[in-house]
Amino acid sequence: MRLQILQSALEIFSVRLICWKRQKSLQVLPCSYFHVLSSSLWASGSQGWPLKSFPGKQELLTKAMSLAQRVSGTFHASLCAEAKILSNEHKSLSELMQCHISSKQYESHVGEVLSIRKLLDAHFRIKSAKYELEPELHIDPTLCIDRISKNQVSGGTLVYVWYLWKLHSLEIFECLDTLERLDFIRCEGTVKLCFSYFGVRLRHDLSVTCLLLNPDAAWVRNVDKRFMLRHRNVVTLDARHFASAARKYWHQELLSVGLRVLEALHALYKCSLVNPLSKYYQKCVSNLHFDITKFVESNSLDIKKDDTRKLQNFLQLSTKYFEIVFPFDPRVCIRRYISLRESELPRIY
């Protein structure tokens, strides 16, 4: 019994030590940067997206970059990549893609997530008629990056950026799950992302307790107020309760983004019926409706009735795939079946 208690105590201590070490790596970030990120995402009345502007934002970013230069060249480059995304300046598709490439190069997970989200928004703003027509739905990463870098969008670039968002979302869910269980050993970069994105810092006493930089942030509404400890102007929260609340918020974010992707794909599908695009393209779009709908359904909590109806409508649309692959004429059916077997839908995940 004593041995079990000792092992349990050592496990708890090791987890707290890991948390503390990762927190130390965040301390080199200038306070001005945290203020900009937190205020951009969680300003009063904000739901976390889109990023908000406020007076003095650019000056604070400039100050943060100047301070980062004293740490190291790599750290400065990483913060510059994030600062470009956080700034109020409008950015083209090619500039957003360059921000994403730089963020990935310098391992800035916050920069990656923000740039991907902005790339998705850029796709949503463009009408389906302005998308590049393609006989097949190409989702090759190199081709998609090249096309976006030329300020062009297509069904393939939309799905490519969605896959990037999906991958990061899954990493965030995994990180929050392990944080809630207090057994996380890996996903260091994602831990930094979660703490930075939601405006959370760990206390300096090796306890797994979070300090909330903005207690009025929208995601905090998912926290039972009994678990929030207030001492003067300081609000703390157990890491497990933070993870639970952050997960609920990200489930809703995933649902919101997923529905918009499905709406954009639906518009492209209708265009494909008017334009002389291949049946294979229509099949791919219909199949994607099914894949994305099921993924969003399985990773969403407390879906509202209206959103459930939308997902069911998109799921029904995916049945069009069977009408394309299995038409009434059996000769056409055989030809299309052979064609589809020879060219499967590309995957990047």
pLDDT score for 321? 66
Q: In the predicted model, is pLDDT for residue 2 greater than 80? A: no
Q: Is residue 83 part of a domain?
A: yes
Q: 118 and 85 in contact (C-beta within 8 Å)?
A: yes
pLDDT score for 126? 97
DSSP state letter for 211: E
Q: In the predicted model, is pLDDT for residue 172 greater than 60? A: yes
Q: Is residue 152 part of a domain?
A: yes
Q: In the predicted model, is pLDDT for residue 21 greater than 90? A: no
Q: Is residue 294 part of a domain?
A: no
As a whole number, the mean pLDDT across the chain is: 83
Number of structural domains, the chain? Answer: 1
Q: Is residue 308 part of a domain?
A: no
Which residues, including other chains, have CB under 8 Å from residue 267's CB and lie 6 or more apart? Answer: 127, 128
Q: Is residue 326 part of a domain?
A: no
> What would the two tokens of residue 76 be?
């400065």
pLDDT score for 75? 85
> Strand 209-212 and strand 228-231: pairing?
unpaired
Q: Is residue 306 part of a domain?
A: no
pLDDT in tens, 246-304: 999 999 999 999 999 999 999 998 888 887 777 778 888 888 999 999 999 999 888 99
* Cα(32)–Cα(12) distance, integer angstroms: 33
User: Domain limits at 87?
Assistant: 14-43+57-272
> What would the two tokens of residue 301 be?
């909590």
Q: 266 and 289 in contact (C-beta within 8 Å)?
A: yes
Predicted TM-score (pTM) of the model is 0.85
Radius of gyration in angstroms for the set of CA atoms belonging to the chain, rounded to a whole number: 23
Which residues, including other chains, have CB under 8 Å from residue 231's CB and lie 6 or more apart? Answer: none
Give the mean model confidence (pLDDT) for residues 179-193: 72
Q: Is residue 154 part of a domain?
A: yes
Q: Is residue 167 part of a domain?
A: yes
pLDDT in tens, 32-70: 888 899 999 998 888 999 999 999 999 999 988 888 888
The Cβ-side half-sphere exposure at 235, using a 13 Å CA radius, reads: 15
